[in-house]
Every structure is written in C-alpha cells, then in structure tokens.
Chains A and B, each alone.
Chain A
Amino acid sequence: MSKKFWVGLWLGLAMSSVAAEPVEIVQRLSGFRQMDVAKLLAGEILTERGVLMDFPNGISAQSCFAVALPATEVAQRLQVWDPLPHPELKVMAFHALSVPCRPEDFVQLQLASTLKPVRWLVDKTLAITPMKSVLNLSRSEAAELGSSTNPQRATEGWVKVLMARVTAFQQQWWAGIGPYEVAGKTIKPVDQLHALLHDQPLVAAEFAPVLRKAGLLGDVADATLVPFYYWSLFEANHHATLTLGAAYRLADGEHYQIADVEYYVSGDYYTAVTLYEIWPVTGGTLIWRVDLFAAPMLEYTKGMERLAYEVLMVQDIKQEIRCMRDDLKAK
C-alpha cells in the first residue's frame, strides 16, 4: 500500500478521534462548504462529484441529506432499504437472502421476459463461451451458463451461479469471492473494492470502524458484523444487471455507519460500495453518503466525457436519495 494511503489513513484516524460535530466532520471530509441542517431537514439534498481518482476504474460521489426521524430508525431502515417500489430507479427485483442461502431466495428471478434490458442479458448469456463473454464470470461459471439454450435454462443457470457466489461469500467472506475471468482480463472484485478505498484514504479512515468490522479493512478476525444479504436485478446502461450485496451496520450509541457493498455484479461495472454515516441532530438525523464505483469503461473515459459521466452519476444518486427519503418519511 502506498505512503499516500497510510498517511491519509493515519491523518483521518487521528482527526476522527477528535470529538467533532457531524456538520464539521462532513465539511472536513467533503466539499460541502455551506451546510444548513435546517435546510437539509426541509428537503435539500447536497451532492457533489468526488475528486478524480488515481485508480483509473474508479469514480466517487458524495451526498448529504437529513430526515426528521430518529437516527436508530433511519439506520435500521437504510440498511435494508428496498428500491423496488420506485419504477424510476428501474429495479426489476430486490430480495433478501437467507443464511445459508436457499434456492427459494431466487424464486423471483425470471429472465423469460420481453423487456429489452432482460433480453440483452439473456442474449449475452446464450452467447457465452467457456473462454469469452462480456459478462463478469469465472471460467467455471461461463462453462455452467454456456450450456443455456433458452431463457428458462439461462434463469436456472444464473440461480446456480448466484447461489454458489452467495454461499462462498457467506462461508468465506471476502476470500470467497471469485474472480471475473472471461471478459478479457482477470478482475478480482475485492481488489477493486480495496483500490477504491485505497484511493480515498480520508473516507476509508472515517469509515474504518464499519469497514474493519465488515472485514474489508484490517484483520479478518475483526470481522464480527453480520450483514443484510440481498440480490437484485436492475437496469444499468439499458442492460439488465444482477448484483449480490451485503449491507453492514455498525452502531456507536446513536451514531451509525453503514457499508453497502455489491460484491458481485453481472456486467457493465465491477463493484460498488455505498457508505453512510448517520448522526442524530436537533430535529432529526443527518446522513452523509459516499458512493464509490468501479467500472471497466472508466479507464477510457476522460476529459469532458468523464465530467459528464460524473454529473449524471450524481443525478442518479440524488434521485435514489429522494426515493429513500420518501420511503423513510412514509414510515
């Protein structure tokens, strides 16, 4: 690990140990210079693009909002938030997973659909060869899915692949996550997650408590949090995308941290992690959110294109936060 990361982490940890007001912490770690909790409670959502990363596949964004609810309730509900009721988010399925994972958890996964994004996923599934695919798969998964001959077989194949990945993750945590091997080069999602955090040392330091307890930073023996496991199917870039996620919540009194990690993504991007820091404030709860995202095409997206990509990413996040906030308010 580079000197920049360790210096940043040390500085971050040193500073985070100093008792500070939530607004001061967010201002110190983000670019939000003007923060008014009253305005946030009234509905304002602050968003900004993250600083450009040295990690070529990475991109980040930050946001801040508030809701007039107790912090404990907000943290509990954000950890298990279901985006499915919001058609604007283009989520086609979202389902909690049992421990251990069971085939019934995937009963809602059905790829025999006329929806174009789903047809895209089916077409790409049927086109898989043992050595080549645009999808994020290991060689053995490519072999498994490559025998699919129709949407129903593709669905069955995906259920097997997802179940195997969930089981490996539930049993071995981060060490159980298999690589993506057939889309041109071998990519390890865990390496991508580490690279994202490594590039943002102040953010990594601030969220070190939850990331350690989740096993993403430091010693695996510290990993004591049991996450909320889920799978989802949603549209990204006009393509149906399957994800497996784990959302960890760490409480420190009424102060919470959540790390929601997509440890498997079927295509278009490699991985994503959403971090929430949640504090009680007068009149409600303040939420600072950091989104970190790794995708192959970002390596080639520079200049104005990257600027535009980041602007659009921030818009998507803002839309998702509006939906979250509406759900929180609706009880």
Chain B
Amino acid sequence: MINRLRIAAGILLAITLANAARAGSSIRVAEELDVDYSYVGSAAVTGSGLTGKTIDEHSADVRFVVSSQVTRDLLLRTGAEWQRFSFGVPAGVPVPATLQQVSAVVGCDYQVGGQWIVRAELQPGVYSDFADVTGEDMDAPFVLAGVYLVNPDLQWLVGLHVDARSQYPVLPVAGVRWKFADAWTLDFMLPKPRLEYDLNDQSQLYLGAGLAAGTFRIGDHFGMDNGLAKLDRQTVDYLEVRVGAGWSYKITPTFQLEVEAGSLVYRDFDFFNAAIDYRSHGAPYGQIACHAKF
C-alpha cells in the first residue's frame, strides 16, 4: 500500500513540477493550488442490517492546476489532483478504509459569445480503495459548465457532471454568484455553496455547505474480507454533505487561509450494483484549507 501511495504521490509531484517549470511567472499563465484537510468525528453507520458501529474520517485534497492562455479566447488547463478519504472502520463494518483519487486535470476555458465562459474539464485517473489497482480502477469524470456573466455582481452557472461508472452517470449542475449587498455575497456554486460576509478587505465569514462525492472501485477481496462476498470488485458511489461556518483570511492577495467547522449531515456509501447502502449522519467536523494563486 505504501509503495502504491508513493507511486501515486510521485506521479502527482512530477506533473505538478512539470507544470510549474513550464508556467514561469507570466501573466499568461495562472497557477492555482488548493489544499485542504479535515477531520470528521465518529458517526453511527446504519443500513443493510448494520447497527451500533461508528466511523470517523480524515480527508485531504491537493489540487494544482496551470491555466495557460493559448489564444485570446482560450485557456488550456492542465494539472493534477489527489484526494483521499480515510475512515476509521471497526471490524465487521464492510466500508472501505480508504477511498482515493489520483488524477490528471485536462481541460479548457473558452469565451463563447459576449457573456459566456465555458469550462470543459476531464479528470482521468485512478479512483479506487487502492487495495489492488488495475485498469478497472481507471475512470475519467468530466465536467462541462458555462458561466453567464450578467454583471460584476451576478453570474449564473449551468452544466453537467458526467461519470460513466456512477449510478447517476449524468448530473445537472447549476449555481449562482450574487453579490446582493456591499458586504454580502451568495456564492451558490457547487461543491461549496456559501453565504459570505466580508468583515473587511482581507477577512470573510461564511455559512455554507460542502459536497464531496466520487465513484470508486473496490478491491477484488474487499467483500470476502468483510464477510460480504458480493461486495468484491464493486463500484461505490460515495457522497458526503457537510454544513458549517468558517472564516477565511487573505494573508496576501494571492494566498488565502480558511478555517471551518460544522456538522456532517449526510454520508452515503452506495454499492448500487449490490443494492447495499451504508449511511451516517450527524458528526462534527473541522477543516483547514489554503488557496494560492501564482
């Protein structure tokens, strides 16, 4: 396992460094680095006959994207993402201890017409519990979204999320960013819709939700090892929904730190092909994140 993680981390680092080296500091190239870590406390797991067990969770996400201006209207996006959910799973709970994504990011932003910017983004990579990685663990979810820029205070978003392996292969996406008062902004954009209040030019408080979701392939012997053979080689749709409040602070114009706490209101491991579903509700969480732009 450790070797696989090292390989995955090595690939991620190589892509990141290659992009960084190419990027330089030109105004034509934007680099975005988003890092977050969170801990979710113990929450009871229920479903498919399971009771009296709890799991906790550590999760982390590192995403680095370089956006290069190719033409006046076209930005090419390349990068990498690593996301990991680690669950503290007691014996007898057939929930994977790890769900992990190591993927490339390939896409573009394109201005269409006068007021639309369209983003197409493919994330080919490994989406797995990393128990035994094979070609079947490869996936390539795709997002196609358009932002309609009404004015500096109002933007609409519509789009589609496509993941052929998921139970719901095509999901519509919609959102709005509306600065409706001097200090208030409704930033209702998935996966982190928020109501934001500007304390000052550097500091902001927010109430919001966080959505983490993904489709992962489980190992060949996961079911057997957990006394539920039909879960071997299954695909699981993972979804968690958090609601919380946070504080963000711009340390510099390009570096922002966020601290957030709240409650995990819903978590679902949906082995949809095996008709087995485990859910959790109501656990506290804390998160720290940073966003940098170069």
Contact = CB atoms under 8 A, between A and B. Distances in A.
Contacts of B67: 302-304
A165 B226 CA distance: 79
Interface in A296-331: 297, 299-300, 302-308, 311-312, 314-315
Contact of B75 (A49, A53, A307, A311): A307
B189 to A, nearest CB: 13
Contact of A300 (B26, B111, B155, B254): B254
A29 interface: no
B117 A53 contact: no
B8 to A, nearest CB: 26
A43 to B, nearest CB: 15
Given A300-B253, A302-B67, A312-B149, A307 B109 contact: yes
A6 B234 CA distance: 66
Given A49-B72, A51-B72, A311-B111, A303 B27 contact: no
Given A238-B182, A297-B253, A308-B149, A302 B29 contact: yes
Contacts of B253: 297, 299-300
Interface string A222-241: 00000000000000011000
Nearest to A119: B182
A304 B69 contact: no
A315 B111 CA distance: 14
B28 A52 contact: yes
A116 interface: yes
A56 B27 CA distance: 6
Q: Give the dominant DSSP class at B's interface.
A: strand
Interface size range of chain A in the complex: 20 to 34
A73 interface: no
A120 to B, nearest CB: 8
B134 interface: no
A302 B117 contact: no
A237 B179 CA distance: 11
B201 A312 contact: no
Interface string B10-35: 00000000000000001111101000
Contacts of A314: 114
Nearest to B147: A308
A300 B293 contact: yes
Nearest to A53: B27
B135 interface: no
B152 interface: yes
A315 B27 contact: no
B251 to A, nearest CB: 13
Interface string B143-175: 000010101100100000000000000000000
A47 B253 CA distance: 30
A49 B71 CA distance: 12
Contacts of A215: none
Interface string B190-233: 00000000000100000000000000000000000000000000
A308 B75 contact: no
A209 interface: no
Contacts of A307: 75, 109, 111, 117
A130 to B, nearest CB: 20
Nearest to B201: A134
B273 interface: no
A262 B109 CA distance: 33
Contacts of A54: 26-27
B119 interface: yes
Contacts of A134: 201
Nearest to A306: B30
A311 B72 contact: no
B119 to A, nearest CB: 7
A311 B27 contact: no
A155 B69 CA distance: 44
A308 B117 contact: yes
Contacts of B117: 304, 307-308, 311
19 contacts: A47-B114, A52-B28, A52-B72, A120-B182, A134-B201, A238-B182, A297-B253, A302-B293, A303-B109, A304-B30, A304-B75, A306-B30, A308-B117, A308-B149, A308-B155, A311-B111, A312-B152, A314-B114, A315-B149
Given A52-B27, A308-B155, A315-B149, 10 more contacts: A48-B72, A52-B69, A302-B29, A303-B32, A304-B30, A304-B67, A306-B27, A308-B147, A312-B151, A315-B115
